[in-house]
Amino acid sequence: MKTVIIYESKHHGSTKKVCDRIAEECGAVLIEAGSIDEDFNWKDYDLIGFASGIAYSNFYDGVNKAAQMIPEGSKVFFIYTCAKNDKDFSAGIKKTAADRGAVCLGSYGCRGYNTYGPLKLIGGMNKNNPNEDELKAAVEFVRKLEA
């Protein structure tokens, strides 16, 4: 099964760290969201992942724009890093994908290093995230989808 992950990772690279581990262990192809345009050949991939940090409870704009181009019938999944992993932050992009006729297979979220706003003054939160356990869980999540 050929897997691609379209990602956008800002600030501290937490999302990229997760994507890099998945690429290393699962052989997924990583493509920055800003590189996706109307000529992208979605049919080259059996499984399409969208990965992002979370800003104002949503995936970054570049990832959302890429999701608006997926063809009907695509099998998709979602990965995100966030300050506080207390809800499913992929709900908005899942709706976008479902509205396009994609098959949504699930999402994986974990904490990422955060220095937004006043947190910068105290050195941020989640400095050691994603940690090794979270990286392993992300890899296991993708392996189950590929099985």
Per-residue pLDDT at 102 exceeds 90? yes
How many distinct structural domains can be found in the chain? 1
Distance between CA atoms of 52 and 77, rounded to whole angstroms?
12
List, for residues 68-99, the tens digit of each pLDDT value: 999 999 999 999 997 777 788 899 999 999 99
Q: What is the CATH number of the domain that holds 93?
A: 3.40.50.360
pLDDT of residue 2: 95
Question: Tokens 């396009």 correspond to what residue?
Answer: 100
CA 145, chain centre distance (Å): 14
pLDDT at 122 exceeding the cut of 60: no
What pLDDT, in 10s, does the model give residues 1-59? 799 999 998 776 789 999 999 999 999 999 999 889 888 999 999 999 999 988 887 89
Given this model, what pLDDT does residue 109 score? 92
Mean pLDDT over 119-135 rounds to 69
Instruction: Tell me the backbone φ, ψ of residue 65, rounded to 5 degrees.
Output: -65, -40
Mean pLDDT of 129-138: 89
117 is in which domain, residue-wise? Answer: 3-146
Asked if omega into 118 is within 30° of 0 (cis), the reply is: no
Looking at residue 84, what is its pLDDT? 75
Q: Using pLDDT thresholds of 50, 70 and 90, give the confidence band for residue 143.
A: very high
pTM, two decimal places: 0.89
The pLDDT of residue 117: 56
